[in-house]
Structure 1
Amino acid sequence: MHILSFEEQISSVIINRGYNYYMDDLVSTIEEINENLFAATVEGRSDDYNVIIALKEDGEIHSHHCTCPFEGPVCKHQVAVFYELRAEREENMFDGKESQVETTFSNKSKDSAVNDGKDTKVKRDIRSILAEQSKDYLVEFILLMIQEDQDIAKQVRLRYERGDVKTELSTCYELIRSHIKKHVDRHGFVAYGKVPQAIRGGELVLERAINDWRDDDPLSAIHFCFCVMHEMIELLQGADDSDGAIGGLIEDSLETATRLDLDAMTPDKQAEIFRVLLAEAMASRYDEWSDWRHSLLDACAELSQTRELREALKQAITQLELRTVHSHYEWSANHEREALARLRYKLLDEAEKEAFLLAQLDKPSFREEAIRQAIDAQRYDDAIRLAEQGELSDQERGLPGLVTKWKMLRYEACAAASYTAQMRELAFDLTIDGDYTYYLELKQLYSEASWQEVYDRLMQQMGQKDYNFNNVYIRIMQDTNDHARLLKYVQGRPYEIVDYYADLAKHYPDEMCQLFRGYIELRASNANNRSQYKHVAKLLVTYRQACGPDHAEALHRQFLSGYVRRTAFCEELRKITSKIV
């Protein structure tokens, strides 16, 4: 959206209202507070609203925000400011001057404001203005601003006050909640467009946490991170986080909280942080967000440098494992058990790990690790056996994705062991399962003399499968110029002629045109609304490209004469006459 042409992308209703606000001089102030970043005040019916607009160098509107409760993408107040900015830009372009924005606008008529400019002040850099003021004056100015907006006081305390952590955390919670409260609707929900402003308090608190890490105060930083996470997890229940801004802030807070430099910590400090992280991980708020809990527990595992800490973590894992017994959701319970088992695996001594690993083979990640360990140790037969067991088990459980995974690992082990016969069998199966890479592998495993028989058998079996969602079969036919087989394939699926007519045109032109014509005639006979009529017309244009103007004109005339009573259809056909004739 560009400042010179924004009307094209905004509702005409909003444009008209915003233009009326602009013409009625309701944009009372506007200021460039940073390069291409503008702050404006617009007079509303019952209140004044603050508008922030960020422009790119080329005039593209980078972002825009208004404090009004309107939940649409752009409000009338923002449109009014757009008009102000455009008027200023166009005036400066006309004068051949570098664009500058007025800091204030008088409530005179637009003509007067544009023509004489007597009631305007030329923008100055804010930093320069503030630098000229005395400390006492700036303090008084900030106190005056705090009277109008208590959030400024919270931000001052957050940024500059250092004292009791509990008091500081209380300030953090208040700041985060006040930003959220400003942007919830009457139902207590934060709409998509309001989320970036609603989470601003959380972002400020996270900045403080990062600074505390730099100041070598990790415990305070962790508590501030948890403050952000608590409020953002709760906000997730009542906000549209389609772009992941809330989840992203939680992830950033979690990453900051678990940023551990063990070499810089004493054993006592490690133990203290361990207990704080473990207590947080066990909180019920993470029952629905287990991946975040696992990240906290992973950090605990890294900190558990003593037997006492490892035992405490093992007990916590046991508690969490017991909770999964009563879960109503089998998939999530299995996922949780596997994650907890991997965490427990990290805590074991090297001598204990092998037995534990083999006891957990029902969990995919453990079976994969066992297979890879066997391959790395050149125990190829063990790796093959483990993979085959996985295939059988997951075939019975109806998990085709895992079955394919074990086949791939078995192929890797067979390749390392140079078991050619098994490699051929697996590459054949994996190609049929839809992996083109294994088709290339399969081809390399046979001589030219023996390949044709294998190819025919492969294509026969693939042709019996439903490949609507897998194009490996078609890709092989195209790569090998197997036009006869491709024709047969399309004859069984006439709707695919649009995609493959170019492949058939040279070798089977008559059959291709017959198929194409029959498909269009079928679509025409079944069409019963404007959208479907347009689609048939589009097919006719493509048919002309495929089979030439004579064929297309004949079918075009046939439809015009045969569907006279379908007025809308005939209208769409006449629209494409110039493209057909």
Structure 2
Amino acid sequence: MLTLKNFELQVSSTIIQRGRQYFEDGAVIDLEETDNNYWQAEVAGTSTYSIEIKLGNKNKIEDYSCDCPYDGDTCKHVVAVLFLLKEELSGKIARAKKANQPDFKKLLQKINVEEYQEFILAHATKDKNFKSVFELWFAHKDERIDTAKKYTDLIKIIIRKHASEGFIDYRATYSLTNEIKKLVAKGDALLAKKNFREAFTLARAVLKQVTELIEYSDDSNGNIGDAIFSIIQLIENISLAKEPTIELKEQIFSFLQTELSNQLYFDYGDFGYEMITVYQSLAELLKKEKEFLQYVDTQIAKYIAGKRDFRKDYFLVRKIEFLKAIGKEGEIRKLIQQNLDVVEIRKGEVESAINKKDFLMAKKLIAGGIKIAEKEKHPGIVSDWEEELLRVAIIEKDKETIRFYTKRFAFDRWFNRDYYIQWKKTFTNTEWRTVIEKYIEDKITEINKQHQNNKSKLWYSPDALFLDALAPIYIEEKYWDRLLILVCKETELDRILQYHDHLSKHYPTELVDLYIPAFERKGDIAGNRVEYANLAGKMKRVIKSIPAGKEKIIGVAKMLSMKYPRRPAMIQELNKVIILEKGKSEQ
């Protein structure tokens, strides 16, 4: 839970440092509580950025946003505002200041109706955006207001504000989507108030405009895509609610049917597939079987018969799901038999066979799936089918098949601990010792043979291959002595450190002897402050876990500092290690 009390511990130390600097430099301007526990501020950086923060009970930070282009979770601008908020709410220096601040709500109470109207008319004349927002807010007071047009105009104004020569660049997508989020939040609020018709009117207008925009944007950060998904989610929430009239749901169905013909929803993301989910649910509810099946068949017909295409497979699966939902069992069987080459359809049949305990049929279907995947050269799908064979074997308690596949999956491309343990559990302790020793022996023979056959082409010894292949087994079996023998043949610092936690308790002295030359070599090739800091950090890590090696490691740090007197950044970073000599901590 992020709070004003603990955010300094929860956020990256680098971001905290930069945010604190902004705060101390007075870069936070116009901090204001616009509503109860809702705060807004601006922070002056390379540009001026707008920040919004929502606090909860006990100063819990419930939500926040910034329109800067930072990709991470929390930016330095938000942190700067949090520091100021923490100071403001502590009451240490803010009480006198707050006492003199105007109370906005009290000000509103002092204004009479004529003054309100005069202010609104003056601003509506000068500011078209203000007029649109005002009319939308009070649209329920006047049925003549065309809310669909107003929302469309409003989103167009927002888009134009952030566009440059008709294009939305990477940076502009942050501030743009922050404004879109506010519109979606308004739609959610309308939904909560059961104003379903206006919520849909808003969602429809925003979705159309934002989707058209994606063609002319650099959305490499995914902001616009996320906004589109949130709008589709709003439409789905309206559709799934029980209260909206059938007439409104018919309108949503017709809207989706029209929009799904727009290829943009499929070319720039998975938006179309999300919309099809809503479209299918409404088709089931509204008994629109003919329309939905006609749409799906049209999509299937676009793709060449006999040629694999994931989109065709997707629509075939959708059609089967829909036919099941409306009880067309006869059509389903025929369609399934015609399309068993589609992975998802075949998997559905495998699942059905397993549920009926017809394991022979399940295995036959899986074998057919493997054959198709091998023919089409899809090794990933072959592996998926083999995992299905393992699942059936577990149900049938077929020990030999379980052993075969768990062993394969344990060492397939990389070590998989879960499958290794599963393989091990099929043996008694006595049996396992024989099995694993035989595996180790065979693996050593295999590596030696491969290395000998390719000796003329290889520049490295087989030691690295032995470590990669056998270290995971030695760790699982706690063969620390064997692991140490392999690690002792390593000279590269990072490779040795991979096994530090496993060996430091058992062989501290031997590890330190390995680290000393490795640290020196790392220092010789390090070339910038990041690399120097990285080296110093690793030295301190080893000293912390093996205190007996402190003197030797500090000796390497001193030697490197003397060896490279013209590398001030290196000396500065290594001094953070050398200072530990007197038992001092880093200042």
Please, what TM-score do these two structures have when normalized by structure 1? Answer: 0.72
1:353 aligns with 2:345: no
1:340 aligns with 2:320: no
- Counterpart of 1:256? 234
Deviation at 1:451, TM superposition (A): 1.1
Deviation at 1:379, TM superposition (A): 1.0
- Counterpart of 2:299? 320
Q: Which one of 475, 483, 488 corresponds to residue 486 of structure 1?
A: 483
The structure-2 alpha-carbon separation of the partners of 1:567 and 1:206, relative to structure 1 and needing over 3 Å to count, comes to closer
- Counterpart of 1:9? 18
Of residues 552-561 and 308-317 in structure 1, the stretch that sits farther from structure 2 once superposed is 552-561
Encode CA deviations 1:206-264: one digit per residue, 9 max, x unaligned. 3586379x2564xx654542211112223444556677554344223223323435987
Give, as a single letter, the amino acid of the residue that structure 1 aligns with 2:147.
E
- Counterpart of 1:100? 98
User: Do 1:176 and 1:201's aligned partners in 2 also have CA atoms closer than 8 Å?
Assistant: no
The structure-2 alpha-carbon separation of the partners of 1:102 and 1:458, relative to structure 1 and needing over 3 Å to count, comes to farther
User: Do 1:89 and 1:99's aligned partners in 2 also have CA atoms closer than 8 Å?
Assistant: no
CA RMSD between the two structures: 5.0
User: Do 2:181 and 2:227's aligned partners in 1 also have CA atoms closer than 8 Å?
Assistant: no
Matched ranges for 1:269-418 at <5 A: 273-289=252-268, 291-304=270-283, 309-325=288-304, 334-348=309-323, 349-395=328-374, 397-418=376-397
SS at match of 2:98: coil
Q: Which one of 112, 128, 136 corresponds to residue 150 of structure 1?
A: 128
User: What is the CA–CA distance in structure 1 between the aligned matches of 2:176 and 2:406, rounded to whole Å?
Assistant: 50
User: What is the CA–CA distance in structure 1 between the aligned matches of 2:509 and 2:182, rounded to whole Å?
Assistant: 69
Give, as a single letter, the amino acid of the residue that structure 1 aligns with 2:35.
N
User: What is the CA–CA distance in structure 2 between the aligned matches of 1:426 and 1:235, rounded to whole Å?
Assistant: 49
Deviation at 1:274, TM superposition (A): 3.5
Encode CA deviations 1:295-319: one digit per residue, 9 max, x unaligned. 3333333343599943333332233
Give, as a single letter, the amino acid of the residue that structure 2 aligns with 1:199.
I
Deviation at 1:378, TM superposition (A): 0.4
User: Do 1:205 and 1:228's aligned partners in 2 also have CA atoms closer than 8 Å?
Assistant: no
- Counterpart of 2:35? 34
- Counterpart of 2:156? 177
Deviation at 1:276, TM superposition (A): 3.2
The number of residue pairs the alignment matches comes to 527
Unaligned stretches of 5+ residues in structure 2: 9-14, 72-76, 448-461, 583-587
User: What is the CA–CA distance in structure 1 between the aligned matches of 2:42 and 2:526, rounded to whole Å?
Assistant: 54
User: What is the CA–CA distance in structure 2 between the aligned matches of 1:564 and 1:402, rounded to whole Å?
Assistant: 57
Q: Which one of 421, 424, 427 corresponds to residue 403 of structure 2?
A: 424
SS at match of 2:168: coil
Deviation at 1:171, TM superposition (A): 1.2
Give, as a single letter, the amino acid of the residue that structure 1 aligns with 2:348.
E
User: What is the CA–CA distance in structure 2 between the aligned matches of 1:484 and 1:510, rounded to whole Å?
Assistant: 14
1:234 aligns with 2:209: no
Deviation at 1:422, TM superposition (A): 0.9
User: Do 2:303 and 2:312's aligned partners in 1 also have CA atoms closer than 8 Å?
Assistant: yes
Deviation at 1:174, TM superposition (A): 0.5
User: Do 2:173 and 2:219's aligned partners in 1 also have CA atoms closer than 8 Å?
Assistant: yes
- Counterpart of 2:458? none
The structure-2 alpha-carbon separation of the partners of 1:473 and 1:242, relative to structure 1 and needing over 3 Å to count, comes to farther
User: What is the CA–CA distance in structure 2 between the aligned matches of 1:205 and 1:481, rounded to whole Å?
Assistant: 59
1:445 aligns with 2:446: no
- Counterpart of 1:456? 437
Matched ranges for 1:174-213 at <5 A: 174-185=153-164, 188-189=167-168, 191-199=172-180, 202-203=183-184, 206-207=187-188, 210=191
User: What is the CA–CA distance in structure 2 between the aligned matches of 1:360 and 1:302, rounded to whole Å?
Assistant: 24
SS at match of 1:385: helix
The structure-2 alpha-carbon separation of the partners of 1:308 and 1:532, relative to structure 1 and needing over 3 Å to count, comes to closer
Give, as a single letter, the amino acid of the residue that structure 2 aligns with 1:9.
R
Of residues 200-209 and 497-506 in structure 1, the stretch that sits farther from structure 2 once superposed is 200-209
The structure-2 alpha-carbon separation of the partners of 1:497 and 1:395, relative to structure 1 and needing over 3 Å to count, comes to farther
Deviation at 1:61, TM superposition (A): 12
- Aligned-residue sequence identity (percent) comes to 18
SS at match of 2:270: helix
Deviation at 1:377, TM superposition (A): 1.0
Encode CA deviations 1:2-25: one digit per residue, 9 max, x unaligned. 99x999636989987969xx9xxx
The structure-2 alpha-carbon separation of the partners of 1:343 and 1:241, relative to structure 1 and needing over 3 Å to count, comes to same
Of residues 528-537 and 444-453 in structure 1, the stretch that sits farther from structure 2 once superposed is 528-537
Encode CA deviations 1:30-71: one digit per residue, 9 max, x unaligned. 9754235567999xxxxxx997765858699986879xxx98
- Counterpart of 1:118? none
User: What is the CA–CA distance in structure 2 between the aligned matches of 1:339 and 1:531, rounded to whole Å?
Assistant: 48
SS at match of 1:304: helix
The structure-2 alpha-carbon separation of the partners of 1:100 and 1:50, relative to structure 1 and needing over 3 Å to count, comes to farther
User: What is the CA–CA distance in structure 1 between the aligned matches of 2:283 and 2:153, rounded to whole Å?
Assistant: 34
- Counterpart of 1:138? 116
The structure-2 alpha-carbon separation of the partners of 1:482 and 1:64, relative to structure 1 and needing over 3 Å to count, comes to closer
User: What is the CA–CA distance in structure 1 between the aligned matches of 2:87 and 2:530, rounded to whole Å?
Assistant: 45
Encode CA deviations 1:79-116: one digit per residue, 9 max, x unaligned. 9x98xx89995997358x4762645xxxxxxxxxxxxx
The structure-2 alpha-carbon separation of the partners of 1:17 and 1:358, relative to structure 1 and needing over 3 Å to count, comes to same
Deviation at 1:493, TM superposition (A): 4.5
SS at match of 2:146: helix
Deviation at 1:535, TM superposition (A): 4.3
User: What is the CA–CA distance in structure 1 between the aligned matches of 2:476 and 2:411, rounded to whole Å?
Assistant: 16
- Counterpart of 1:167? 146
The structure-2 alpha-carbon separation of the partners of 1:352 and 1:384, relative to structure 1 and needing over 3 Å to count, comes to same
User: Do 1:183 and 1:197's aligned partners in 2 also have CA atoms closer than 8 Å?
Assistant: no
- Counterpart of 1:497? 496
Deviation at 1:340, TM superposition (A): 0.9
- Counterpart of 1:577? 578
Unaligned stretches of 5+ residues in structure 1: 43-48, 104-122
User: Do 2:184 and 2:203's aligned partners in 1 also have CA atoms closer than 8 Å?
Assistant: no
The structure-2 alpha-carbon separation of the partners of 1:141 and 1:308, relative to structure 1 and needing over 3 Å to count, comes to closer
Encode CA deviations 1:192-212: one digit per residue, 9 max, x unaligned. 542354326743763586379
The structure-2 alpha-carbon separation of the partners of 1:494 and 1:565, relative to structure 1 and needing over 3 Å to count, comes to same
SS at match of 1:548: helix
The structure-2 alpha-carbon separation of the partners of 1:479 and 1:199, relative to structure 1 and needing over 3 Å to count, comes to same
Deviation at 1:325, TM superposition (A): 4.8
- Counterpart of 1:111? none
Deviation at 1:567, TM superposition (A): 7.4
User: What is the CA–CA distance in structure 2 between the aligned matches of 1:569 and 1:147, rounded to whole Å?
Assistant: 64
User: Do 1:301 and 1:346's aligned partners in 2 also have CA atoms closer than 8 Å?
Assistant: no
User: Do 2:32 and 2:41's aligned partners in 1 also have CA atoms closer than 8 Å?
Assistant: yes
User: What is the CA–CA distance in structure 1 between the aligned matches of 2:260 and 2:290, rounded to whole Å?
Assistant: 16
User: What is the CA–CA distance in structure 1 between the aligned matches of 2:69 and 2:287, rounded to whole Å?
Assistant: 54
User: What is the CA–CA distance in structure 2 between the aligned matches of 1:149 and 1:18, rounded to whole Å?
Assistant: 29
Deviation at 1:455, TM superposition (A): 1.9
SS at match of 1:362: coil
SS at match of 2:276: helix
SS at match of 1:454: helix
Larger of the two Rg values belongs to structure: 1
Give, as a single letter, the amino acid of the residue that structure 2 aligns with 1:438.
Y
Give, as a single letter, the amino acid of the residue that structure 1 aligns with 2:553.
A
